[in-house]
Amino acid sequence: MNQPSYTQGRQDKPLLAMTIGQALDNTVARFAEREALVVRHQQLRYSWRELADSIDLHARALMALGLKTGDRLGIWAPNCAQWCIAQFATAKIGVILVNINPAYRTSELEYVLRQSACQWLICAGTFKTSDYHAMLGELLPELAHQAPGQLNGERLPDLRGLISLDDAPPGGFLPWAALAGMAEQVAPAEYQQRQQSLQFDQPVNIQYTSGTTGFPKGATLSHYNILNNGYMVGESLGLTEHDRMVIPVPLYHCFGMVMGNLGCITHGTTMIYPNDAFDPLLTLEGVARERATVLYGVPTMFIALLDQPRRGDYDLSSLRTGIMAGATCPIEVMRRVIDQLHMGEVQIAYGMTETSPVSLQTGPDDELELRVTTVGRTQPQLESKIVDEHGCIVPRGTIGELCTRGYSVMLGYWGNPAATSEAIDPAGWMHTGDLASMDEQGYVCIAGRNKDMIIRGGENIYPRELEEFFFTHPSVADVQVIGIPDERYGEEIVAWIKLHPGHSATDGELQAWCKSRIAHFKTPRHFRFVEEFPMTVTGKIQKFRMREISIEELCNR
């Protein structure tokens, strides 16, 4: 009988049985005066002691707002020092941090705040083309007439208050700068008691993932889930207190806040944010000026760094390792990353938000071919298996659905037990929906994402969510969304549109309509207006045929 497609990760690395706050305190005790956080675009630097002091101050201030264990606080902002402080301050008082994509527009924001029943929201003032204050004013017309913390909005009934990162926000917002002053309302002993009451398997974070069946689902993650995942990723990289990690990936995503921030705090590694969002030149500058040893990114980021015209101006020789994740890495890109960015130990990681996120990872000594043709082997203290459509484990080398089990599997989807039971089976296996095969050595190769998902620049986009969105346009009678290959982003979005009789629309009109309503990365690059869709004789849509036609028209011309 062929060996089954099942592996266990190494068992010799014990899991951390502690809360995120306890892990942070341990690191502060060991490395108090070493540099903890560098935020270059804000010109801020913190030692571990200074960062801990700011976290403790703001944690007490959040308690003063009335936030209790299990309450939800949203954060809607790009990378900044306040994001990091909020992440750890909420963890220390048992408040569940709800990550909100900075690119979200009003409909997406409203859904997430309502579904998670957020009591408070931290937001930036503006970012790129987004005016957060204006969008919140649109959702909450009552805001201008109510004092901070006294909010009573019709559309968001659970939301009690808003904290703005601007120093002088409009009426109704509590400025972040004023928040710390509220800490004196909570005695240190009360704060300490709150921390001591927390358990490591309690929820600490909700991250929304686009769903194949419509609205995003909130993956609920515990201290145990994400603290240990960050720790294990860091262990594979060989992180120590002497490492310095540049984190250009977004903090609202697991890549930034778990693999980045939590990987650093469990090893005493310095966190470096080169900018509020990815900028290749500022990332190169951050690596060179800060003498970074570790760099994170999705393949499109590394391509942008390699192709930056001024790359040669910067000394990148301090780099030794990093992680590339979010999409398959072409072999030529991997070779250039190793040779030109000096990242000889760069690793590939695979996972999903629901698994905290990493479940498979290559190692520093893996051959180059394994680092570009596979996503590595099962992480320590986890299990992987590949099953057929009946749930039976397939032999090695056979393609099936990849499943993960262990400490990293989420607690469930927030307020959605039906979706949770569909994703996690009774034996505790998380079904990824991804097709994969496992070789004799246990290395896993991803054969393809689930049949619908699009990965554009590291962002997971599910066509069903976009299709439901386009159905709200008055001219759209029917719509099908697919992904096609793209050299820069990995995939681009194509929307096939069938219009109502007598209606008209253009690419530009539909893109403009999307602009104020959905995140920019979800807006289709191409539109194709049709009378009918390719179908089977039984009336089923043939998305594979649509993909073939679109590739022929758009990629091969």
Residue 327 and residue 455: Cα distance in Å, rounded? Answer: 7
pLDDT at 448 over 70: no
Q: What is the mean pLDDT of residues 310-331?
A: 90
Quote the tokens at residue 315.
């000394």
- Percent pLDDT > 70 in the chain is 96
Q: What is the pLDDT of residue 191?
A: 98
Return the higher-pLDDT residue of 39 and 465.
Answer: 39
Buried b (16+ CB within 10 A) or exposed e, 87-100: bbbbbbbbbbbbbb
pLDDT at 210 over 80: no
- Percent pLDDT > 90 in the chain is 80
Residues 6+ apart with CB under 8 A from 286: 40, 246, 248, 272, 274, 275, 292
Q: What is the pLDDT of residue 324?
A: 93
Q: Considering the entire predicted model, what is its pTM?
A: 0.86
Quote the tokens at residue 189.
């002993």
pLDDT at 540 over 60: no
Q: Per-residue pLDDT tens for 109-128?
A: 999 999 999 999 999 999 99
Q: What is the mean pLDDT of residues 298-321?
A: 93
Q: What is the pLDDT of residue 537?
A: 45
Return the higher-pLDDT residue of 18 and 531.
Answer: 18
Q: What is the mean pLDDT of residues 211-231?
A: 87
Q: What is the mean pLDDT of residues 449-472?
A: 79
pLDDT at 538 over 70: no
Comparing 229-238, 291-300, 486-495, 536-545, which segment has the lowest mean pLDDT? 536-545
2.60.120.10, 1.10.260.40, 3.40.50.720, 3.40.50.12780: which CATH number matches 6-14+217-448?
3.40.50.12780
pLDDT at 212 over 50: no
Residue 253 and residue 468: Cα distance in Å, rounded? Answer: 24
Residue 87 belongs to what H/E stretch? helix 81-92
Where are the domains positioned within the chain? 6-14+217-448, 49-199, 454-554
Comparing 52-56, 358-362, 376-380, 519-523, which segment has the lowest mean pLDDT? 519-523
Sheet with 203-211: list strands edge to edge: 173-175, 161-164, 120-123, 72-76, 96-99, 203-211, 214-222, 412-413
Closest CA to 464 of 213, 99, 244: 213
Q: Per-residue pLDDT tens for 366-397?
A: 998 898 889 999 999 999 999 998 999 999 99
Residue 428 and residue 387: Cα distance in Å, rounded? Answer: 14
Is 70 within 8 Å of 94 (Cβ atoms)?
yes
Q: Per-residue pLDDT tens for 67-111?
A: 999 999 999 999 999 999 999 999 999 999 999 999 899 999 999
Residues 6+ apart with CB under 8 A from 20: 88, 91, 92, 204, 223, 226, 227, 262, 265
Per CATH, is 49-199 categorized as 1.10.3720.10?
no
Closest CA to 295 of 228, 226, 345: 345
Q: Which CATH architecture has domain 454-554?
A: 2-Layer Sandwich (3.30)
Is 246 within 8 Å of 69 (Cβ atoms)?
no
Residue 315 and residue 319: Cα distance in Å, rounded? Answer: 9
Is 206 within 8 Å of 99 (Cβ atoms)?
yes
Same fold, 6-14+217-448 and 454-554: no
